[in-house]
Structure 1
Amino acid sequence: MIQFIDDNKAEYGIELICRVLPIAPLTYHRAIDLENSPEKRSLRSQHDDFYVGEIKRIWQDSKCRYGVRKVW
């Protein structure tokens, strides 16, 4: 939904799009702020991002052969 608003905000404006869609303008602005400033995200979300990168690295180092049991 955020991508849709980004794509159409020049033509219709954020407030008008948010009025039609079931989303508050503040929610849109908060999502954009969190996307641009990862340090403002929750600690859990920051840890998840770190571990996703590590899991992908381990999986790629195994030439994409390891499954969940070996990666975890």
Structure 2
Amino acid sequence: MNGILRDVAERSQGWVRLIDATDQLCDADGGALTETPDGDPLRQDGAHFDPPAATWFWNQWLAGQVAAAYSTSGP
């Protein structure tokens, strides 16, 4: 799936930005992290962020990435 997403982003550079969160959500071996740096669980159901994890991810990383990707100066 990641390869497909990268291909679409590459073909659609004028309007698609790929924000890769692997470094934020995986350990050095590529395994999924289970908790935030504060110790809150990321996904108790195994798939969806818990509310504290979603807040952490948006505030600490994703909001800045989205703003940078869509700034007038480009990614």
Task: Select the structure that is richer in helix.
Answer: 1
Q: Give TM-score scaled by structure 1 length.
A: 0.28
